[in-house]
Amino acid sequence: MGKHTDFIYLSEPDAIAAGVGDAAACVDTIEESFRLLSEGDYLMGGPNHNNHGITMVFPKSSPFPNMPLDGPDRRFAAMPAYLGGRFDVCGCKWYGSNAENTKNGLPRSVLMMFLNDKSTGEPLCLMSANLISAARTGAVPGVATRHLANPDAQVCAVIGCGPINKACTEAIRTQMKSAKRFVCYDLFEDKAQAFADWIKKDLGVDASSSTDLADTVAQGDVVSIAASRLKPLHLEEAWLKKGSTILLTGPAKGEDGVFLNSNIILDHVKLQEAYVEDAIASGDKEAFYAGVIGGPIFSLIDKGLLPPLSDFTAIGDVIRGKRPGRKSPDERVLFLSCGMAVYDVAWTYDIYQNALKKGIGTKLLLWDSPAQA
């Protein structure tokens, strides 16, 4: 007889019941992920163990009438990872993305997470992952706020009032203990106002809306940037407040001084090095750089204006006390954040454990005894 194998399925309502929206807890979990990244107790995709994942990019044209064609934010991607420590589990985020989804009442991306036994590959949990991904994305700048922002920071400038910055704002709020006001910028005034209203109602802090990018950025002790990838922002150094912490969760261009005169802290140095490897392999580095959050930094490194990536500090090393983060209250710190599958695995694991304790989810049978054992 082979081994009986089953696993649990968690729908989006199940994930909510299991605590996926607990921003403060997610910040703690993602901080653990950074520690493990710094220690090296992880694996991600590719032979370098640091690839973001593998993405299927659609062609611009095809002789096959049913083949999907390229479009705004259209792709399928798989992001596998192993995370050690107390997690000690493998997992993979799988998603399809298409900007046209919103016209059909869907999120831009539809995501699922699998957790698997690290040795046998048996499934442990299949979970709806849109809220997992949003929470872990927001928790990353939350961790950065905890470790890099001035403790007396009072004003947070929110640049881009979409769902990603909503998750970022929730997490930042849990760490910004002296926060008195949030200023919310968007190209569309109604979106900015709705975001400000949500902050006042749900996060319990004063908030206002703005359609003036320069003025909004200038007010921020902490600046959370998560605007559209299709229209990257352009920042001017004169807008940035002394001692501010700039959190790049979405792409932004800017004057060279924005980057050259900031203390740049990376999420994970080896991930950023893997992006550069991919850029070289693409045959058009500048085009590749235009599509990733660290693109302006990579370009300045190529020009010899910034040191090589290996000289940069990762936030995991800051958390572990291996390298300094913010060096003075007046220093401007810029934190670069890109998504990593280890975050998804970590937060999915905790929600899975919560679900087991609470009896949440649907048990699904893989087999009573495998036919090919």
Q: What is the 3-state secondary structure (H, E, C) of 343-366?
A: HHHHHHHHHHHHHHHHCCCEEEEE
With a pLDDT cut of 90, the percent of the chain lying above it is 88
Q: Is the pLDDT of residue 230 over 70?
A: no
Q: Is the pLDDT of residue 66 over 90?
A: yes
Q: How far apart are CA 48 and CA 307, in angstroms?
A: 22
CA trace torsion 23, 25, 29, 31 (10° rounding): 70
Q: What is the pTM of this model?
A: 0.94
Q: Give the pLDDT band (50/70/90) at residue 288.
A: confident
Q: Is the pLDDT of residue 339 over 90?
A: no
| Distance (Å) of CA 207 to CA 66, 152, 198, 200 | 47, 18, 9, 6
Strand partners, 364: 7
Q: Is the pLDDT of residue 229 over 70?
A: no
User: pLDDT tens for residues 137-147?
Assistant: 999 999 999 99
Give me the domains of the chain, ranges plus CATH numbers: 5-133+342-364 (3.30.1780.10), 147-339 (3.40.50.720)
Strand partners, 12: none
Do 334 and 265 contact (CB within 8 A), yes or no? Answer: yes
Q: Is 123 exposed, middle or buried (0-12, 13-18, 19+ CB in 10 A)?
A: middle
User: pLDDT tens for residues 306-331?
Assistant: 999 999 999 999 999 999 999 999 99
Q: Which two tokens mark 111?
A: 């995501």
Instruction: Determine what percent of the chain falls in helix, strand and coil, rounding each to the nearest 5.
Output: 40, 25, 35
Do 176 and 156 contact (CB within 8 A), yes or no? Answer: yes
